Amino acid sequence: KNQMKRGSVLFTFIEPLFERAKVKKFERYSGLSWADYEKMKDIVLVKDKDTHLWHQKLATQEAKKGYWTNGMAEELEGVAPMTRFCWSLSFAGVATDEAFLDLSNNEDIALTSFKNKSNYFFYHTTKAASLNNSTVFRHALVTSNVSSALCQPSSIGFGISKEEWAKSLQDSKFCLVIRGDNPNSRSLFRSIRNGCIPIVISDMLPSYAPIFRSLLKMEDYAILLKEEDFISDPVGTLNNASILSNFSINKFLNGIKIVQRMILPDHPHSLFVPAFCHETVASMKQIYQVPNEGNGGLASV
């Protein structure tokens, strides 16, 4: 902690670290004093969310309407970042931990194999309620009369065995990424690893936890749907989103293959280290892609 200087990188997924409103509560556990934090203000912080971009977004009226008004009050009041530089890896580690797909044969992510998959949509959730008004989104598809109206066959419902879950995910064309207790979801990275096109239903995710923001735009490898469109007509919105030309399917699949190389250290042609270094420098120079929230991928089809 005495050697931290500009250019140093600190990687943490510990939620209370480096958010000003939470530090006082965490000091006794971290062993770091306020003075220690002050010494580290010029480091590059890598977290599961982009605290700088999210802090900027929380200042807008758009972020303060709807499901944010009843939760995350501390963040709505403004949790000022404690370091000058930050970028997000989001939940990329999930894709490495849950290695269902053999990446040694990455050519499997191609138009022919995509069309040969059995399921259109894949989504399984828990029966437990989510925070911040997200339960209505996460449970919108799991009633029989709704899920049966989706393009069939689809794998939709509550929890299933891990073996069935892995098999069904790999055999699905589209994986739903629906917001939960916060805008982020591990489903995005499970989908990327397994070559399933993500359909993101989380308006704030591109601002909350963009991954390699200087290099990637989420709409290049995922379909982004607006929350209000999904909740007003879940079946129609998803069925329409799944109608893609071969050109558009190839665009998303090629984007997924690139993202796999960037986020997966275990990929046989991994670009994780150079991408990590590039993003660190970009965060200090403030060189970023502009987030596109909701409808980005679909609009470009």
Between 146 and 63, the higher pLDDT residue: 146
Between 287 and 119, the higher pLDDT residue: 119
Flag whether pLDDT at 299 surpasses 50.
Answer: no
pLDDT of 301 reads 24
Token duo for residue 77: 């009041």
Please report, for residues 26, 209, 231, the alpha-carbon distance to residue 46 in angstroms, rounded to integers and kept in the order given: 18, 11, 33
Q: How far apart are the first and last CA of the chain?
A: 48
* Average pLDDT score, the chain: 80
pLDDT 10s digits, 14-27 = 555 555 555 555 55
Lowest mean pLDDT among 19-33, 85-99, 172-186: 19-33
Task: Give kind and range of the element (H or E) at residue 17.
Answer: none
Distance between CA atoms of residues 254 and 176, nearest Å: 19
Buried b (16+ CB within 10 A) or exposed e, 82-117: bbebbbbbbbbbbbeebeebebeebeebbeeebeee
Q: In sequence order, what are the residues at sequence separation of 6 or more whose Cβ sits closer than 8 angstroms to the Cβ of residue 261?
A: 267, 269, 270, 271, 272
User: Is the whole-model pTM more than 0.75?
Assistant: yes
pLDDT 10s digits, 145-177 = 888 899 999 999 998 998 899 899 999 999 999
Angle at 177 between CA 77 and CA 254, to 5 degrees: 120
Flag whether pLDDT at 97 surpasses 50.
Answer: yes
**Average pLDDT of 53-68?**
65
How buried is residue 301: exposed, middle or buried, by Cβ count under 10 Å (0-12/13-18/19+)? Answer: middle
Between 15 and 223, the higher pLDDT residue: 223
Q: Among 55, 157, 169, which residue's Cα sits nearest to residue 119? A: 169
Flag whether pLDDT at 298 surpasses 50.
Answer: no
